A and B are shown apart, each in its own frame.
Chain A
Amino acid sequence: MTAWNIRPIASALWRNRTGALLVALQIAIGLAVLVNAVYVVKQRVEKIGRPTGMDTANMIWVSSAGFAKDFDYDASWREDLATIRGIPGVKAASLMSSIPLSGGGSASGFQARPGEPTPGDNVDGNTYDVDEQAIAALGVKLIAGRAFEPQEILPPSETYGEAPQAIVTKAFAQELFPNDENFVGKTFYNGLSEPTTIVGVIEHMHGAWVGWDDLGNVVLFPRIKRGPGAVYLVRSEPGRRDGVMREIEEKLGDSNPDRLLRWVRPFDYFINQSYLDDRNMAIFLVSVTSALLAITALGIFGLATFNVSTRIRQIGTRRAVGARRMDIVRHFLVENWMVTTAGVVAGCGGALAVGYWISVEYELPRLDLYYLVGGVLTIWLIGLAAALQPARRASAISPAVASRTV
């Protein structure tokens, strides 16, 4: 017997082509979905895993809403911050105008020179009003300059204008001053040509909207957040976050009847919320794709089982005239491999077509061919594994079957 017997296997397959065709179609769809699902999931996982630049694991946010007519905002935040800073396990606490990575916040356009703003020179940045403990409370790395001094912090203001000093991220500074390396002491301007001098540069920090291209452009101004709602940022010693949260809730909960302590939440809450859709998309794609591959594997298994069960006499006969068990196993595996390969060839076309659609929908680069190669190998392996058991069962058929009349 020659090594592989492609021709007789192919002609046996051709006699029951409908079943094989159905399985090949499933494999084609399976491959097209698998390759693209892996591609999209990888994008999402990378997006969620981007470093934020902050000590997120130990950060807590506290929201207080003053609502009474005679509510004294100024006294309230001073008292709250003093209370929070006195809690053991608290590293730093700051007032901040909004919460990074929460999907809510402010952004403005700035430029490197004064005068009428033009779209080309405009650099957008997420803006935050913070106090002197913000750098310590955020846990960001200051790579140049200094943090804010207490006497620099401006009182709350109705205006949306900026402050004379700012601490900015390196990404923002680089975009404003592309030809410079030292940014401390540089001056930039808002739309009203009001100047702001950079006093410190942060290595990296994320702003408000996770889907925004300028997420890494952050500008911190030394100013107290406008009342009557306050948002406190608290950073605990490593591992003491939950205890500190309970303590804050206890101490601030009923300290002032003119306001409502809305919530005390870990930073993860907001980050998870912002990435919820991305995370769920990844979970959804992974589960549906796995189910789809499992069903395809069942289809392969079913076809192989059927082929074995309808050919019991032929297998017996082949065994009786000298075929070894190995030959029978090989016959079915090769037959199955041919079906899988037909599906894979069609699936490659499908995968590229779906990949094109996905790249248009998401404005992503075209599908990398590595994914296709990986997908083809995976499908081949799945096909082989699914057909193994029926093939071995076939090889166990006794040669005596051939001489029996059923």
Chain B
Amino acid sequence: MFGYYLELAWRNLRRSPGLTALMIGAVALGIAVCVMTLTMYRAMSGNPIWWKNDVLYAVTMDFWDPQQPADEDKPELPPWQLTYRDAIAVYQSDIPTHKVIMHKAVGIISVDGQQVKPERAMTRVTTKDFFAAFDVPFQYGGTWTDSADTGPEPVMVISSKLNEKLFAGANSVGKRVRWNDNEFRIVGVRDRWMPLPTFYDVNNGSLEEPEDVYLPFGWNAALEIFSAGNNNGWKPEDIKNYQEYLASENIWIQMWVELPDQASHDRFKAFLDNYAQQQKNGGRHARPLNNRLTRPDQWLIDNDVVGNDDRVLVGLAFAFLAVCLLNTVGLLLAKFLNGAPVTGVRRALGASRKQVFYQHLVEVGVISSIGALLGLALGGLLLMGLRVLYTVDATDAGGTQALAHVDVTSVVTALSLAFFATIAAGLYPAWRIGRLPPASYLKAQ
């Protein structure tokens, strides 16, 4: 019976191609706009490290201005970064299985004796656990050792993208590269890795690609590396040199720890509170004790990674889909009612209400499937258009490229949304046509 209904549906749809095109077009357009906004929204709001959400924590401590909170809109939160001296002090704890302190910097990469032009590279100055804590994959080699962090030893990890440029993608472990004219040895090549948003540092472009170069944290003091990212201070301090900068109340270091269970979480929290209390007792600051360990999902919310525009756009997309579906229901109803005399004949010849209902539902299914597929394709096109909108300069395409990356979950969500929405839209017309008394239509024949 299903095959027959399918054939009937096909014939019915072909009888009025204009109306059919209109219906399919409406469904496709509604789906396309929804796919586009949802993909965008997911890219910004998704938790890219969900599988470690229960063990990873951003560490924040409140050593801010005694007279006012760091963020007046969220007075309950400590500042979003740490001072250098607090980060170094807390890093000494052995409780976390992995601990990361870091900041974003910028350097010039050059290679001796090679015809590659020196190039500016975004750099993350971090500790050896960065890769293990965030499950960062390696193409070649691996991370550095503890002694490289404190040494500091001249070792670095580069991205596969930079490796492609410098060494044509070959295994470059052991090769020498200059960073701001200081020689470093490559110990690892990071594989393609694209967390969206870059949860580990949301203050410095949360939709940008991760850095291309990773240096051991100890190089900060050795090379006097300033932050190329967010740097905030509240205290008027007369900072004359880099050493004084490191000892200042400026916040510019991000810290993350991995704590495998509640017990270690509590122990580390106690450690933090104890440290802060000691600082307080030493007369450092007057703010109430406010140390936090924040999980990645909450971290993204606290830091407003998803903007109001994104929420408004999702609302708009669903309003749009609603209009498209209402439109389709109206058109389906009109179409089915137009075909009522034929249905009347079928009913008179013995088709049950249920059979008429199913027959029309199959027709709806055909429309919704075609509409959904077209909508997905169109949504992909729109996302590509979005990439153009978000690129200021073709040579400088940043991480917003990833917006056009439609992942499997998005596709499945969108497909089911499309299919079920249209079927739901078709239920009423199909039911209505099944309830029509056949006699009145037969009379007119």
Interface residues of A (CB under 8 A from B): 18-19, 22-23, 25-26, 29-30, 32-33, 37, 40, 65, 67-69, 71, 117-119, 158-161, 190-192, 260, 262, 265, 269, 272-273, 276-277, 280-281, 283-285, 288, 291-292, 295-296, 298-299, 302-303, 306, 309-310, 354, 357-358, 361-362, 406
Q: Point out the residues of chain B lying under 8 angstroms from A158, CB to CB.
A: 239-242, 245
A262 touches B392 (CB 8 A): no
Which residues from chain A contact B307 at a C-beta distance below 8 Å?
A: 277
B22 touching A302, Cβ below 8 Å: yes
Q: Is the CB of A269 within 8 A of B316?
A: no
Other-chain contact of A18, B22, B320, B324, B432 (Cβ < 8 Å) = B432
> Is B313 a contact partner of A284 (Cβ separation < 8 A)?
yes
B390–A260 CB distance below 8 A: no
Which 4 A-B pairs have CB atoms at the shortest separation, nearest pair first? A191-B236, A67-B108, A306-B334, A22-B330
- Contact check, B29 vs A295: say whether CB atoms are below 8 A apart: yes
- Of B182, B323, B330, B390, which one neighbours A280 at CB under 8 angstroms? B390
CA distance A71 to B181 in the complex (A): 10
Question: What's the A-B contact tally at a CB cutoff of 8 Å?
Answer: 132
Contact string, B403-437, partner A, CB cutoff 8 A, digits 1/0?
00000000000000000000000001000100000
B181 engages A68 (CB within 8 Å):
yes
B311 on the A face (CB < 8 A): yes
Q: Which of B29, B118, B242, B245 lies in contact with A291, CB distance below 8 A?
A: B29
Partner of B238, one of A192, A280, A357: A192
B120 at the interface (CB under 8 A from A): yes
Contact A67 B338 (CB under 8 A): no
A158 to B319, CA, bound (A): 55
> What would be 15 A-B contacts, judged by CB atoms less than 8 Å apart?
A19-B334, A25-B326, A40-B312, A67-B108, A119-B68, A159-B238, A262-B120, A280-B389, A281-B313, A288-B317, A291-B33, A302-B22, A354-B315, A358-B312, A361-B308
Rounded to whole angstroms, the CA-CA distance of A280 and B392 in the bound complex is 12
Q: Tell me whether B175 is interfacial, beta carbon within 8 Å.
A: no
Whether A406 pairs with B444 at a CB distance below 8 angstroms is yes
A224 CB to nearest chain B CB (Å): 17
Contact string against A for B residues 299-340, beta-carbon threshold 8 Å, 1 for contact and 0 otherwise: 000000001110111011101101110110111011001100
**Residues of the B chain whose Cβ atoms lie less than 8 Å from the Cβ of A303:** 330, 334
Determine the main DSSP class of A at the interface with B: helix
Among A33, A68, A298, which residue has its beta carbon within 8 angstroms of that of B316? A33
B284 to chain A, nearest CB (A): 17
Alpha-carbon separation in the docked complex, A295 to B237 (Å): 61
Contact at B107–A299, with CB atoms within 8 Å?
no
B135 within 8 A of A: no
Say whether B262 faces chain A, with CB atoms less than 8 Å apart.
no
Does B119 count as interface, using CB distance less than 8 angstroms?
yes
Flag if B392 contacts A269 (CB, 8 Å): yes
The answer to the question of B383 belonging to the interface, with a C-beta cut-off of 8 Å to chain A, is no
CA gap between A133 and B315 in the complex, in Å: 50
Interface residues on B, range: 35 or more
Is there contact, CB below 8 Å, between A277 and B309? yes
Q: Name the A residues within 8 Å of B68 (CB-CB).
A: 119
Q: Are A281 and B319 in contact (CB under 8 A)?
A: no
B260-304 residues with Cβ-Cβ distance < 8 A to A are: none
B contact residues around A280 at 8 Å (CB) = 386, 389-390
List of A residues within 8 angstroms of B181 by Cβ:
67-69, 71
With A19-B333, A280-B389, A361-B311 known, 17 other A-B pairs at CB within 8 A are A18-B333, A19-B330, A26-B330, A29-B326, A37-B316, A68-B181, A71-B181, A119-B68, A158-B239, A159-B240, A191-B235, A260-B118, A273-B392, A288-B33, A310-B337, A310-B338, A354-B315
Which residues of A are found within 8 Å of B117, using beta-carbon distances? 260
Option from A32, A190, A269, A298 in Cβ contact (under 8 Å) with B393: A269
In the assembled complex, the CB of A7 is this many whole angstroms from the nearest CB of chain B, namely: 24
CB distance from B14 to the nearest CB of A (A): 19
A159-B240, A296-B323 are contacts. A361–B312 as well, Cβ < 8 Å?
yes
Q: Known interface pairs A158-B239, A190-B236, A277-B309. Does A23 touch B330 (Cβ–Cβ under 8 Å)?
A: yes
A361 CA to B308 CA in the complex, in Å?
6
| CB-based contact B118/A298 at 8 Å | no
The chain A residue sitting closest to B311, CB to CB, is A361
Are A119 and B320 in contact, CB atoms less than 8 angstroms apart?
Answer: no
Complex alpha-carbon distance, A273 and B9, angstroms: 51
Per-position 1/0 for B23-51, Cβ under 8 A of A: 00010010001000000000000000000
Chain A residues closer than 8 Å to B238, beta-carbon distance:
159, 161, 192
Cα A358 to Cα B312 with chains together (Å): 8
Q: Which residue of B lies closest to A279 (CB)?
A: B389
Interface contact A67-B236, CB-CB below 8 Å: no
A22 touching B326, Cβ below 8 Å: yes
Q: For B389, give its contact among A19, A67, A118, A283 (CB under 8 Å).
A: A283
Chain B residue with the shortest CB-CB distance to A405: B444
| Chain B residue nearest in CB terms to A294 | B29
CA distance A272 to B241 in the complex (A): 36
- Complex Cα distance, B33 from A313, in Å, reads 41
- A-chain residues with CB within 8 Å of residue B108 when the two chains form the complex: 65, 67, 260
Do B236 and A117 touch (CB < 8 A)?
Answer: yes
Q: Tell me, in angstroms, the Cα distance from A277 to B392 when the chains sit together.
A: 11
Residue of B nearest to A406 (CB): B444
CB distance from A339 to the nearest CB of B (A): 11
Contacts of B311 in A (CB 8 A): 361
Q: How far is the CB of A375 from chain B (nearest CB, A)?
A: 14
Contact call B242/A26, Cβ cutoff below 8 A: no
A298 touches B120 (CB 8 A): no
